[in-house]
């Protein structure tokens, strides 16, 4: 099955959607992504039982934070589909692309420094 979907979508593979960290999503936006969607397995089908349910809760929390800081939570979405649903994936990619086109580019685009300004110093483990 060779399906066409919007070429602007970049895939970041994770071992399980439950492995998604708030920081991964925030980093994508800080680095200029216009939108992010998390594609987890169908609810009830998680190999690790609840990974996708946890992902959903985290996505919800990050949406809230994005609203608070002015990026806009609607730029982030969680979808559930099985790895056998290639055409559904293409559909979601197109759907999300259309939504983001409507919203326009990441509001950070063109403002502030090219570098995000972070400086991380490790820390206690």
Partner 1 sequence: MIIAQQKPIKDIAAMVSDCRKVALIGCAGCVTVCLSGGEKETEILASAMRMMRRLEGKPLETVTFTATRQCDPEYVDALEGLVKDVDAVISLACGVGVQYLAERFDKWVVPALNTNFIGGSRVHGVWEEKCGLCGDCILHKTGGICPIIRCSKSILNGPCGGSQYGKCEISKDVDCAWQLIYDRMKKLGRLDKLMEIQPAKDWSTSRDGGPRRAVREDVMIG
Selected range binding partner 1 among 35-43, 69-77, 79-87, 92-100, rule: CB under 8 A: 69-77
* 29, 108 Cβ separation under 8 angstroms: yes
Q: Least distance (Å) from partner 1 to the CB of residue 10?
A: 19
20 lies in the site for partner 1, by CB under 8 A:
no
Length of the chain: 125
Site string for partner 1, 86-125 (x = CB under 8 A): ---------------------xx--xxx--xxxxxxxxxx
Q: Least distance (Å) from partner 1 to the CB of residue 17?
A: 18
Q: How far apart are CA 44 and CA 67, in angstroms?
A: 29
Picking from 54, 60, 61, 57, the residue whose alpha carbon sits closest to that of residue 18 is: 54
Nearer to partner 1, 29 or 79 (CB): 29
> In sequence order, what are the residues at sequence separation of 6 or more whose Cβ sits closer than 8 angstroms to the Cβ of residue 25?
36, 38, 59, 62, 76
24 lies in the site for partner 1, by CB under 8 A:
no
Q: How far apart are CA 34 and CA 91, in angstroms?
A: 18
Question: Binding residue for partner 1 (CB under 8 A) from 9, 14, 65, 81?
Answer: 65
Picking from 99, 100, 119, 121, the residue whose alpha carbon sits closest to that of residue 32 is: 100
Binding site for partner 1 (CB under 8 A): 21-23, 26-27, 29-30, 65, 68-71, 107-108, 111-113, 116-125
């Amino acid at each position: 099955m060779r399906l066409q979907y919007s070429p602007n979508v970049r895939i970041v593979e994770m071992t399980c959607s439950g492995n998604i960290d708030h920081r991964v999503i925030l980093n994508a936006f800080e680095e200029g992504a216009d939108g992010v969607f998390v594609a987890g397995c169908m609810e009830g089908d998680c190999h690790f039982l609840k990974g996708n349910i946890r992902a959903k809760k985290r996505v919800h929390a990050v949406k809230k934070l994005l609203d608070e800081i002015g990026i806009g939570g609607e730029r982030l979405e969680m979808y559930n589909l099985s790895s056998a649903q290639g055409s559904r994936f293409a559909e979601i990619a197109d759907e999300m692309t259309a939504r983001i086109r409507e919203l326009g580019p990441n509001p950070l685009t063109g403002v502030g420094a090219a570098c995000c300004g972070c400086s991380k110093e490790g820390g206690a483990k």
